[in-house]
Amino acid sequence: MSDSRVPKRVQAKRPKDAGVTLVEILVVLAIIGVMASVLGLSVSGGARNAGVLEREATLLSVRLERAADSAALNGTPAGFRWDAKGYSFLSLQGGAWAAHPDAILAAPHSVDRAVVLSVFGQARGQYLIRSDMLPSVTNPDTNSPVPLQVAFVGSKDAWNVVFDGVTARSQRKLERGRP
């Protein structure tokens, strides 16, 4: 029988001034990466908000055109009412304003709380959608029609809806300093 001994593994002691190991550096970098990702996701509300603004502007464009079509077909004006929480559509029925007969337009629509809705710079009000498909607001100086202008503003983005009595188009509002 051979007397072969397995040498014991000797653990080297590190000097106190040796610094940090590669494993320790990688662990710290991984922790910093995870924290940066969490912070980036929580701060980037503007990027998510941009999609919300575009959807809100597109939805309002479609609903304004639907209300205008309904007003023209029925020969009765419709109303667009807005406030800080959202908007709804009304119809003139029997000489009084009531919920719109079209269920899609009658249901009040709430906007996301991060979105600011304003029409002609006002946070609340009403706008008449005429059955003759002309804008209901005129410029007092020129007596020319002024299209309805609705703004959806978020933290980093803004969309406008312009309605001329017949068609509504939504467009991204360009930031200052951009072409």
Q: Domains along the chain?
A: 45-172 (3.55.40.10)
pLDDT in tens, 119-135: 888 888 899 998 888 88
What are 50's two structure tokens? Answer: 């941009």
3-state SS of the chain: helix, strand, coil percent to 5? 30, 30, 40
Q: Is 123 helix (H, G, I), strand (E, B) or coil?
A: coil
Confidence check: pLDDT of 66 > 90: yes
Environment class of 118 (CB within 10 Å of its CB; exposed 0-12, middle 13-18, buried 19+): middle
Predicted pLDDT at 7: 66
Type of residue numbered 93: Q
Which of 148, 153, 150, 121 shows the shortest CA–CA distance to 52? 153
